[in-house]
Amino acid sequence: LSEIEDWCVRNNMSVNPSKCSCITYHRIKSPVIYVYSISGTSIPRSQCIKDLGVIFASDMGFSGHIDHISSKANKMLGFIARFSRGIDNPSALRSLYCSLVRQLVEYASPVWSPYTVGNRTRLEALQRKRLCR
- Over residues 90-120, the pLDDT tens digits come to 888 888 888 888 888 888 888 887 677 888 8
Per the model's pLDDT, the better-predicted residue between 104 and 126 turns out to be 104
Task: Report if residue 58 sits inside a domain.
Answer: no
Task: Report if residue 10 sits inside a domain.
Answer: yes
Read off the DSSP letter of residue 26: -
Instruction: Enumerate residues 6+ apart whose C-beta is below 8 A from 2.
Output: none
72 and 118 in a single domain? The answer is yes
67 and 127 in a single domain? The answer is yes
Task: Report if residue 56 sits inside a domain.
Answer: no
42 and 70 in a single domain? The answer is no
Domain range holding 13?
2-46
Handedness of CA 58, 60, 63, 65 (dihedral sign): positive
Task: Report if residue 30 sits inside a domain.
Answer: yes
34 and 81 in a single domain? The answer is no
In this prediction, residue 11 carries a pLDDT of 95
Task: Report if residue 51 sits inside a domain.
Answer: no
pTM of the model: 0.75
74 and 127 in a single domain? The answer is yes
- Over residues 30-44, the pLDDT tens digits come to 778 888 888 888 899
81 and 31 in a single domain? The answer is no
Question: Per-residue pLDDT for 12 more than 90?
Answer: yes
In this prediction, residue 133 carries a pLDDT of 55
Confidence tier at 132 by pLDDT (50, 70, 90): low
Domains in the chain, number: 2
79 and 113 in a single domain? The answer is yes
Task: Report yes or no: 97 and 80 within 8 Å, Cβ to Cβ.
Answer: yes
